[in-house]
């Protein structure tokens, strides 16, 4: 008897599920992570690093960054395909990934959502340079806009 009731319950449940499925409107597809416009390989290497707070200082900051290759900021490849870089105020390297934000911007930070406080926004990428600015307003105010200029032979 118990087994028979459980069988009816299962059957009713299956019918109910099928009926609900038949009534459902088309659900949104699961989110697919957008592919960032910048790849890890583009930023791996040795860089001269300099920063500025006022746009009027950008040009000379770029020149200063090129002059800093005797103390390069080294970006290596991470074990999971990301890049090894420093987060703000952290002297230990972390593996970071490039992320495409819903706003169409490219971010660099720990795996997860794009545009969070630990992320940097990545701007103006070309083979010889790129620029980042911290998403966190406090970090952005303290460190300013950071310019990376590739060390070694320039294309």
Partner 1 sequence: MTVRARVLARAAAAAIAAAAMVLPGLFATAQQIDMNVVDQPGYQPTPGEEQLTGAYERQEVFFRTSEPPGTIIIDTNQRFLYLVQPNNRALRYGIGVGRQGFQWSGLERIARKQEWPDWRPPPEMIERQPYLPRFMAGGPGNPLGARAMYLGKTVYRIHGTNQPQTIGHAVSSGCFRLVNEDVTDLYDRVPVGTKVIIKQAVAL
Binding partner 1 (rule: CB under 8 A), the pick from 86, 103, 127, 152 is: 86
Tokens of 34: 């957008």
Nearer to partner 1, 57 or 100 (CB): 57
- Phi–psi pair at 56, nearest 5 degrees: -65, -15
Binding partner 1 (rule: CB under 8 A), the pick from 6, 17, 18, 60 is: 60
137 sits near partner 1 (criterion: CB under 8 A): no
117 sits near partner 1 (criterion: CB under 8 A): no
- d(CA 133, CA 136) in angstroms, rounded, equals 9
Binding mask 91-110 for partner 1 (x = CB under 8 A): x-------------------
50 sits near partner 1 (criterion: CB under 8 A): yes
**Type and span of the H or E element at 35:** none
48 sits near partner 1 (criterion: CB under 8 A): yes
Mark the segment that binds partner 1 (CB under 8 A) among 1-9, 22-30, 50-58, 98-106.
50-58
Tokens of 110: 């720990």
User: Taking the CA of residue 145 as centre, how many other CA atoms within 13 Å lie in the half-sphere pointing to its CB?
Assistant: 16
- d(CA 121, CA 47) in angstroms, rounded, equals 17
Residue 47 CB neighbour total at 10 angstroms: 25
In the complex, the residues that contact partner 1 under the rule CB under 8 A are 48-54, 57, 60-61, 64-65, 67-68, 71, 73, 86-91, 138, 141-144, 146
């Amino acid at each position: 008897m118990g087994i028979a009731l459980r069988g009816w319950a299962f059957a009713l449940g299956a019918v109910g599920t099928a009926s609900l499925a038949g009534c459902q409107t088309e659900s949104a597809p699961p989110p697919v992570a957008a592919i960032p416009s910048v790849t890890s390989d583009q930023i791996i290497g040795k860089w001269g690093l300099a920063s500025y707070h006022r746009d009027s200082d950008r040009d000379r900051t770029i020149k200063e960054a090129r002059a800093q290759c005797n103390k390069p900021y080294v970006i290596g490849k991470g074990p999971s395909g990301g890049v090894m870089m420093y987060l703000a105020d952290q002297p230990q390297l972390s593996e970071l990934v490039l992320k495409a934000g819903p706003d169409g911007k490219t971010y660099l930070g720990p795996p997860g959502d794009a545009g969070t406080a630990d992320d940097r926004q990545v701007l103006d990428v070309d083979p010889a340079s790129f620029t980042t600015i911290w998403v966190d307003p406090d970090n952005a105010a303290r460190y300013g806009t950071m310019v990376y200029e590739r060390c070694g032979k320039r294309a």
